[in-house]
Structure formats: structure tokens, C-alpha cells
Amino acid sequence: MGARSGWRRQGVVGLVAVGALACGVAAGEAVDGGPDGAAERGPLPPVGSPLHEAPWLVPEGAPRIDAVAPLASARFPAGVGYPDALERLLIAALGDGELPAGATLAPPLPAEVVMVRPGAGGAGIRLSLTAPWGYDESGRIRAPSVGLPPEWTAGQVRSAMDRMRGPGAALPAGARVDAPPLAACQVAEGTPDNRPTCPERP
């Protein structure tokens, strides 16, 4: 695809990858990032932010889960489910780089654990900041994506991207942050070690 290819459609929504959001370019038909059509990399979380080195924010492509140093995890308030936590986390990462309101830092989870569901009487879910969208069968960390209504024009896509970046970032009405299904071994119950063993990766 050329530099002027802007956003693609998949199923009933257009998908904008997080690398595109970070660069100011939608993944598919014509949203220019700069005067020559080249992508301009937007601001990523600043040094000192718990999300500064998040591998899923790298526009060049996410690495394998076993090739990165584990980051801390984030504990969300009670009642915040996985899809909502992902939305809050992405908007925070593209906004001021701080954790979402109400979320607190916790120690890193084991490399293969993406989420810990709370036990009885527990707080909210605990989410890996290394790979909150999980990773595929080869171990490659999944990048976030945002679903947009298919009828949106390139101008509406650009406006939505602008709203999702910088101070006051917010998810536009009609958009959604995708929450992928996680393999059973990526989800622990109550404690990080209470989960099935992951199969060996190729």
C-alpha cells in the first residue's frame, strides 16, 4: 500500500491499528501524516510513564513476548472488565501516558500471563502492561486496534484519531477498542500462577 492509503475495512468496521494512531496515519485509504504524505510519529508516553516502553505501542511492530523485559502490571477498580480496561488503557497511553484513573501499579506478572481475574472479594482485574492485548500462538505481542463505523469518511477517521491523542484524549462515539479472546493459559484466576500451562511455541 502507498503512503496515501488510509483506512481499511474488515467485516463491518474499519480498523485503525495503534501504530497508525501513534504515527497519525490510519491503516488503510488516505489520511496523510505530513506534507509529503509520510507518516509523522505522534507523541508516545514520556520517559517516566509506566507505559513509556510498552512494546505494543511500537509502530514498527510488536516483538515476541519472550524477547522483552516485563513491565509492571495495572490493577483496575472492582467492576472494570477486560474490554473496559483495554479502552481506558489505550486512551491513557495515547493521552498523557499515565495510568487510567483508579488503576494502580502492581508488580510484573509472569511473562505468559496477560490478565488475573480477581478471586472472591478481590478488587478488579490485574492486567499486564507488557502485553495487555495478549499474544498470538508464535508469542508475538498483539497490537491494539480500534473499530470504526464503515460509513465514516477519511475526514471523520482523521478527526477520531485526533480526539484519541494528546491531552483530553477520548474514544469518539461510535468507535470501540477491540478486546481479543485470550488463550486459557494467558488468564489466571485469583493468583498469577493459577492457570493452565501454555503449550510450547514454535
- pTM confidence score: 0.78
What pLDDT digit, counting tens, does each position of 18-59 carry? 555 544 434 333 333 333 433 344 456 777 788 888 888 876
Q: If you average pLDDT over residues 162-189, what whole number do you get?
A: 89
What residues contact 122, with CB distance under 8 A and at least 6 apart? 78, 190
Q: If you average pLDDT over residues 120-149, what whole number do you get?
A: 89
Phi, psi of 29 (to 5 degrees): -125, 100
Q: What whole-number percentage of the chain has pLDDT above 70? A: 75
More confidently predicted of 176 and 45? 176
Rounded Cα distance between 152 and 200, Å, is 42
Residue 28: alpha-carbon gap to chain centroid:
19
What pLDDT digit, counting tens, does each position of 59-85 carry? 666 789 989 989 999 999 999 999 999
Residue 115: pLDDT over 90: yes
Q: If you average pLDDT over residues 156-181, what whole number do you get?
A: 86
Would you state the pLDDT for residue 167?
79
Task: Say if residues 98 and 74 touch (Cβ distance below 8 Å).
Answer: no
Rounded Cα distance between 17 and 31, Å, is 13
Residue 197: pLDDT over 60: yes
Would you state the pLDDT for residue 126?
96
Domain ranges of the chain: 1-42+143-179, 52-142+180-202
**Mean pLDDT, rounded, of the chain:** 78
